[in-house]
A = this chain, B = another copy of it.
Amino acid sequence: MAVNPPALSALEPVVGIRLGTGKANIRKPDRRDLVVIECAPGTHSAAVFTRNRFCAAPVIVAREHRTQGAPRALIINTGNANAGTGDAGIADARACCAALATALGCDAQQVWPFSTGVIGERLPVERIIAGIPACKSALSENGWNDAAYGIMTTDTVPKGTSRRATIDGVPLTITGIAKGAGMIRPDMATMLAFIATDARVAPQVLEQALHRAVDASFNRITVDGDTSTNDACVLLASGTGASIEAGKESERIFAQALTEVCSVLAQAIVRDGEGATKFITVEVDGGASEADCLEVAYTIAHSPLIKTAFFASDPNWGRILAAIGRAPAAQLDVGRVSIHLDDVCVVRAGGLAPDYTEARGAAVMRQAEIAIRVNLGLGAASARVWTTDLSHDYVRINAEYRS
């Protein structure tokens, strides 16, 4: 069902980062649903969390533990988001951290918890704790592929990728895994991503690199605009590989590789979006500001009318034009707007392009991957987001989810 999902190849190990995956029977029997990630001493970290003000208990606890420094371990469960569970949920998250800390011989505050699954049910803490020994036994630097499966919920495919580079002859590795079938399922706690590198990076450089990479990748995808209560992305840097220095070429190489990893993972989430039959890139150029370009891009990407038209392979340019017209961009001159579907010019100077034919538009629309390219004709700013169409299956999946 996913749209051209990339195959999961063997993910590159990262020295100092070990992963162990087990089955804890959290929601369904005989399913990999618990993952432990252990970091070597001295590992640095960076993280971003959901901006949803109803954030889940594990997000609250992870943020709190983060103030104490980098983690020695992460504990990730699927099947239950531990969200909307109040003080009891926070105590449950702490109990999981404490149990893993005891097993690994570290402090409970050095463990960060992550949960994904249904909202509003108590976490089955005893089953999770009972599952920790198997995860600990499985800990391995080659555990990435198993972990990619272990963090899936309704994802139809596992998502992971690696990038390697060389800095002054010293190799650099970045490997990441993610889960999510669109940013569309707050009760499934949409998106988690765990990325590790062997780079030696100062914490503040790492933090800035992660924020920039996330902003260009995970913050540029949408299926229906619903932001999860559990979203999180963590970057671990074990420091055994190449050195990264702020403002130097090494930082540029690192940032580029990290952004590539994040972009592959983010696009994999959209390709696996609920009910998706099309992978749509919305590119907006020629804006007076990047913010304006983003407003236009998101207005297009969130329009149910445009998304259903793409599902129907209907080059309904009137819907795109109307979405641009209602976008809350500060500067917009409708007479300067042009729209392309891939390379086919549909709208020029705010009106139907004279050489456009429905046959040319329909040919593009039959593709599984399509770019909507808007030029605002005002300046040099640009922005890009990735999204899906809106299909019968989207309604079916989300209407039937709890039944």
Which residue of chain B is the closest to A190 with respect to CB atoms? B322
Select from chain B the residue with minimum beta-carbon distance to A302: B225
Q: Which residue of the partner chain, among B316, B350, B391, contacts A54 with CB atoms under 8 Å?
A: B350
A248 adjacent to chain B (CB < 8 Å): no
Q: List the B side residues contacting A326 at CB < 8 Å.
A: 51-53, 226-227
Give the contact stretch, choosing among A24-32, A82-90, A96-104, A198-206.
Answer: A82-90
Interface of chain A residues 311 through 330 with chain B (CB within 8 A): 311-312, 314, 316-319, 321-326
Contact stretch, chosen from A13-21, A180-188, A211-219: A180-188
Is there a chain B Cβ closer than 8 Å to A162's Cβ?
no
A322 B398 Cβ-Cβ under 8 A = no
Q: Is A47 an interface residue (CB 8 A)?
A: no
Q: Is A120 an interface residue (CB 8 A)?
A: yes
Number of copies: 2
Could you say which residues of chain B place their CB within 8 Å of the CB of A350?
54, 86
When the two chains form their complex, are residues A312 and B226 in contact, meaning their CB atoms are under 8 A apart?
Answer: no
In the bound complex, residues from chain B placing their C-beta under 8 Å from that of A243 are none
Q: Judging by beta carbons under 8 Å apart, are B325 and A55 in contact? A: yes
Chain B residue contacts of A118, Cβ below 8 A: 318
Of all chain B residues, which has the CB nearest A346? B120
Q: Decide if A197 is an interface residue (CB 8 Å cutoff).
A: no
CB contact between A85 and one of B51, B186, B351 (< 8 Å): that residue:
B351
How far is B307's CA from A180's CA once the two chains are assembled, in angstroms?
21
Task: Assess the A395–B322 pair: CB atoms within 8 A.
Answer: no
A119 lies within 8 A of B187 (CB): no
Name the B residues within 8 Å of A83 (CB-CB).
318
Q: Which 7 A-B pairs have the closest CB atoms?
A: A54-B325, A186-B322, A119-B318, A312-B399, A308-B398, A187-B318, A86-B351
Residue from B86, B227, B309, B321 in contact with A322 in the complex, judged by beta carbons closer than 8 Å: B227
Report the minimal beta-carbon distance from A366 to chain B, rounded to whole angstroms: 13
- Cβ of A321: which chain B residues have Cβ within 8 Å of it? 54, 84, 119, 186, 229
Q: In the complex the two chains form, is B391's CB within 8 Å of A322's CB?
A: no
